[in-house]
């Protein structure tokens, strides 16, 4: 299980499900200048960038992945717009070709001889921050289920889909347990759909990352999200370990009261799929600053 | 199969096989085999699937290594790779690249390389090899494995080996993983240069002892071998990867 080779004939799919409710415009604790929605949009754009680069073969992008970015707040639907906005699930080559804009900047890197050099880098942007409305989590998970059922009907073999769900609050339209379980019961002949959840907090609260059991979680909402979080398959455990994250066999893809550094790691681990070395787009100084 | 006389009493019989991943075109194969009878050098290189221009980098490494007279010590090898890398990067100048190709090119290209040089000047022939990555040299005698480098156990093959980087700024750390070794040969010894999936499979078979892979290469024709390895990959006994095999048998000395 979770060992199928990801190829153009047998692609996998990745769904990034993002809470865009009004509370996402609040800042993270201790950093009044940084809104949660801004940071999440930045991480999602970097994640898409990473997925595109992984599939780039010199001058061609191969469709190893199909990607959906679904937001929920005032409404539920794709966060892609313009050319990509017409479809829920987009082959990665099309994602590559249609960013909203490509920003240019410079990045400081080692010159290999003990010094530093500034090199030009490009930052494509596909989604802009959004924070408005309530938290219709069940409706959003229902949308994900619908998209996955359609995709799985055409792709019954191969590496199963991964859903990376990020939220900062409780569902405003009911308990997500039932719909979450329904999503986790879908799959391919290589395993069930992987649903991972990352809850982030504006308060300075103790964060819980990749737990193995839910009994000691602080409240019912945390336990509910834990129940709809898949166990990390071996490949993902190995990627987490490479990032220095403390995981053991049985760890769930679940973070509670996460901070900005938890979000970065959550996406890095969640997109490691077949155990590839996670792409560390954020340098260590900035990670330390965020932790 | 080809045969080349190397001295008054020694000749080499070589055979090579190159197969792309299942459902891929030959033109997409990123493994390369190179041989040069004059320098008596042989090499296999395997371009990293995720790297920019990996096919060209693997080809350049294999073809140019067999033609050079140096690059058989760690220092020479590092210098030689740096020069080859600069040439590769220069070949990208002026290309009108999309943002993603430009980003990919920025990190350079990567490939595994194993090369062996045979020496027939002494009484008995000897070999010297250099390797970085997970393409391997196996030295076999009478169907038994004498040596395998840089990896010798099937479980050592993982998805993140240290490879030959075209960008010299990475050499400070990557070149510490270069493996250099040597050995002496007898009549009918076989040297195999293999890319990773094939090397892993060979080592597994030799460890289990259920099949002599050398015999396989001796008895089956190209079409039969292709079918055999397609079946192995389809059955999941071998990773679905590009496959390169260069078999060198030393004959003579009697």
Specify which residues A119 forms β-bridges with: A107
CA distance B151 to chain A (A): 20
Helix (H, G, I), strand (E, B) or coil at B236: coil
Q: Which residues of A touch B100 (CB under 8 A)?
A: 52-53, 56, 61, 96
Q: Which of the 8 DSSP states describes residue A291?
A: -
Q: What is the per-residue DSSP string for B154-189?
A: GGG--S----EESSGGGHHHHGGG-EEEEEE--TT-
B53 contacts in A (CB within 8 Å)? 58
Q: Which domain holds residue B117?
A: 2-252
CA A107, CA A42: separation in Å to the nearest integer?
Answer: 16
pLDDT (average), residues A4-22? 93
- Integer Cα distance of A70 and A280 in angstroms: 24
Q: What is the pLDDT of residues B74-111, one digit of tens each?
A: 999 999 999 999 999 999 999 999 999 988 898 899 99
pLDDT at A202: 74
| Mean pLDDT calculated for residue range A206-219 | 89
Q: A283 at the B interface (CB within 8 A)? A: no
The pLDDT-based confidence of B69 (bands split at 50, 70, 90) is confident
Packed helices B54-67 and B74-91: angle between N→C axes, nearest 10 degrees: 130
User: Which pLDDT score is estimated for B137?
Assistant: 97
Sign of the CA dihedral running B56, B58, B63, B68:
positive
Q: Which residue has the tokens 């090898």?
A: B77
Q: Are A143 and A76 in contact (CB under 8 A)?
A: yes
The answer to whether residues A211 and A251 touch, using CB atoms and an 8 Å cutoff, is yes
Q: For residue A5, how many C-alpha atoms fall within 13 Å in the half-sphere facing its CB?
A: 14
Model pLDDT for residues B109-128, shown as the tens digit of each residue: 999 999 999 998 887 899 99
The residue among A180, A173, A89 whose CA lies nearest residue A139 is: A173
Q: How many Å apart are CA B7 and CA B141, to the nearest integer? A: 21
User: How far apart are the CA of B234 and the nearest CA of chain A, in angstroms?
Assistant: 12
Query: Is it the case that residue B214 has pLDDT exceeding 80?
Result: no
Kindly report the backbone phi and psi dihedral angles of residue B228, in degrees, each rounded to the nearest multiple of 5, phi listed first: -60, -50
Please state the domain count of chain B.
1
In angstroms, rounded to a whole number, what is the distance separating the alpha carbons of residues B100 and A60? 9
ipTM of the complex: 0.83
Q: Which residues contact B169 (CB under 8 A, 6 or more apart)?
A: A110, A111, A112, A113
Structure tokens at A258: 């996460």
Q: How confident is the model at residue A289 (pLDDT cuts 50, 70, 90)?
A: low
Average pLDDT (A103-130) is: 80
What sign results for the dihedral spanned by CA atoms B66, B70, B74, B80?
A: negative
pLDDT tens across B20-30, in order? 999 888 888 99
Check residue A141 and give left, alpha or beta (phi > 0: left; psi -120 to 50: alpha): alpha
In whole angstroms, give the CA distance from residue B239 to residue B9: 40
For residue A15, what pLDDT is reported?
Answer: 97
Q: How far apart are CA B179 and CA B193, in angstroms?
A: 14
For A202, the 3-state DSSP assignment is: coil
In terms of phi and psi (left: phi > 0; alpha: psi -120 to 50; beta: otherwise), the region of B175 is alpha
CA atoms within 13 A on the CB side of A109: 15
**CA-closest candidate to residue A8, choices B49, B135, B234:** B49
**Region for residue A112 given its phi and psi (left: phi exceeds 0; alpha: psi -120 to 50; beta: otherwise):** left
Q: How far apart are CA B47 and CA A81, in angstroms?
A: 36
Would you state the pLDDT for residue A216?
Answer: 83
Percent of chain A scored above 90 by pLDDT?
Answer: 60
Candidate from A5, A9, A112 with C-beta closest to B168: A112
Average pLDDT for residues A94-107, to the nearest whole number? 90
Considering the segment(s) A12-290 as one domain, its CATH architecture is: 3-Layer(aba) Sandwich (3.40)
Distance CA B37, CA B6 (A): 8
CB contacts, 8 Å: B52 with chain A? 56, 58
CB of B164 closer than 8 Å to CB of B178: no
CATH code for position B147: 3.60.40.10
Q: Count CB pairs under 8 A between chains A and B.
A: 56
Of B31, B107, B102, B39, nearest to B68 by C-alpha is B39
The mean of the pLDDT values for chain B is 91
Contacts of A32 by beta carbon, 8 Å cutoff, 6+ apart: none
Q: What confidence tier does B130 reach under pLDDT thresholds 50, 70, 90?
A: very high
Nearest to A275 among B106, B159, B170 (CB): B159
Each residue of A101-113: pLDDT tens digit?
Answer: 998 888 776 665 6
Quick one: what percent of chain B has pLDDT higher than 90?
68
- B91 CB near a chain A CB, below 8 Å? no
Write the pLDDT tens digit of every residue in A184-203. 999 999 999 999 999 988 77
pLDDT, position A220: 85
Supply the mean pLDDT for chain A: 89
Cα–Cα separations (whole angstroms), residue A155 to A151, A162, A190: 6, 14, 11
Residues B57-78, mean pLDDT to the nearest whole number: 94
| A49, A112, A119 ranked by CB distance to B170: nearest | A112
Q: Does B69 touch chain A (CB under 8 A)?
A: no
Residues A24-29: contacts with CB under 8 Å, at least 24 apart: A24/A73, A24/A129, A24/A130, A24/A131, A24/A168, A25/A131, A26/A168, A26/A202, A27/A202, A28/A200, A28/A202, A28/A259, A28/A260, A29/A201, A29/A202, A29/A203, A29/A204, A29/A259
Q: What is the pLDDT of residue A278?
A: 52
* Whether pLDDT at B213 is above 80: no
**Spatial separation of the C-alpha atoms in residues B190 and B185, rounded to whole Å:** 9
Please report the pLDDT score of residue A110 as a whole number.
65
Write down the domain spans for chain A. 12-290
What pLDDT is stored for residue B178 in this prediction?
96
- Chain B: give the shortest CA distance to residue A159, in Å: 15
Instruction: Give the integer Cα–Cα distance in Å for B81 and B70.
Output: 11
Backbone CA torsion sign across A91, B23, A151, A188? negative
Q: Which residue has the higher pLDDT, A34 or B31?
A: B31
Residues of A in contact with B103 (CB under 8 A): 49, 53, 56, 121-122
Tell me, what's the pLDDT at A209? 94
Instruction: Using an 8 Å CB-CB cutoff, list chain B residues near A99.
Output: 99
Per-residue pLDDT tens digits for B173-185: 889 999 999 999 9
pLDDT at A7: 87
Average pLDDT over residues A250-266: 91
Cβ pair A123, A100 in contact under 8 A: no
* C-alpha to C-alpha distance for A242 and B212, rounded to whole angstroms: 37
- Cβ of residue A89 closer than 8 Å to a chain B Cβ: no
3-state secondary structure of A169: coil
State residue A112's pLDDT score. 58
Query: In which residue are the tokens 């990067």 written?
Result: B89
Q: Which of B155, B136, B116, B138 is nearest to B212 (CA)?
A: B138
């Amino acid at each position: 299980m979770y060992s199928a080779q990801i190829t153009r004939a047998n692609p996998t799919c990745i769904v990034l499900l993002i809470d865009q409710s009004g509370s996402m415009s609040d800042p993270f604790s201790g950093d009044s200048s940084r809104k949660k929605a801004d940071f999440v949009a930045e991480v999602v754009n970097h994640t898409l960038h990473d997925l595109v680069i992984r599939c780039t073969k010199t001058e061609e992008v191969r469709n190893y992945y199909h990607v959906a970015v679904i937001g929920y707040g005032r409404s539920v639907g794709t966060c892609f717009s313009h050319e990509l906005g017409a479809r829920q699930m987009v082959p990665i080559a099309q994602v590559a070709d249609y960013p909203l804009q490509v920003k240019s900047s410079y990045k400081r890197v080692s010159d290999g001889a003990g010094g530093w050099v500034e090199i030009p880098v490009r930052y494509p942007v596909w989604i802009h921050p959004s924070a408005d409305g309530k938290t219709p989590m069940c409706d959003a998970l229902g949308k994900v289920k619908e998209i996955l059922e359609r995709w799985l009907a055409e792709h019954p073999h191969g590496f199963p889909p991964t859903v990376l769900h990020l939220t900062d609050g409780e569902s405003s339209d009911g308990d997500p347990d039932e719909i979450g379980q329904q999503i986790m019961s879908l799959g391919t002949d290589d395993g069930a759909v992987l649903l991972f959840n990352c809850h982030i907090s504006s308060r300075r609260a103790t964060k819980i990352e990749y737990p193995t059991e839910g009994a000691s979680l602080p409240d019912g909402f945390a336990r509910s999200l834990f129940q709809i979080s898949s166990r990390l398959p071996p490949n993902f455990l190995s990627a987490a370990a490479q990032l220095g994250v403390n995981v053991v066999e049985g760890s769930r893809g679940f973070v509670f009261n996460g901070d900005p550094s938890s979000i970065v790691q959550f996406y890095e681990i969640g997109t490691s799929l077949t155990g590839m070395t996670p792409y560390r787009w954020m340098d260590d100084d900035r990670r330390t600053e965020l932790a | 199969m080809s045969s080349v006389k190397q001295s008054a009493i020694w000749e080499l019989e070589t055979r090579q096989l190159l197969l792309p991943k299942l459902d891929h075109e030959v033109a997409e194969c990123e493994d390369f085999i190179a041989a040069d009878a004059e320098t008596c050098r042989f090499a296999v290189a395997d371009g990293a699937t995720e790297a920019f221009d990996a096919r060209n980098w693997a080809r350049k490494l294999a073809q140019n290594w067999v033609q050079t007279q140096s690059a058989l010590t760690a220092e020479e090898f590092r210098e030689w790779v740096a020069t080859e890398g600069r040439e590769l990067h220069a070949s990208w100048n002026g290309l009108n690249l999309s943002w993603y190709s430009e980003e990919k090119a920025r990190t350079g290209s990567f490939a595994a390389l194993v090369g062996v040089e045979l020496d027939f000047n002494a009484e008995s022939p000897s070999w010297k090899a250099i390797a970085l990555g997970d393409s391997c040299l196996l030295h076999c005698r009478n169907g038994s494995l004498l040596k395998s480098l840089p990896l010798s156990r099937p479980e050592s093959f993982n998805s993140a080996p240290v490879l030959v980087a075209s960008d010299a700024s990475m050499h400070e750390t990557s070149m510490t993983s270069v493996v250099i070794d040597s050995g002496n040969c007898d009549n009918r010894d076989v040297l195999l240069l293999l890319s990773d999936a094939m090397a892993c499979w060979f080592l597994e078979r030799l460890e289990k002892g259920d099949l002599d892979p050398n015999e396989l290469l001796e008895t089956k024709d190209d079409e039969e071998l292709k079918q055999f390895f397609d079946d192995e990959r389809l059955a999941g006994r071998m990773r679905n990867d590009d496959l390169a095999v260069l078999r060198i048998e030393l004959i003579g000395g009697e």
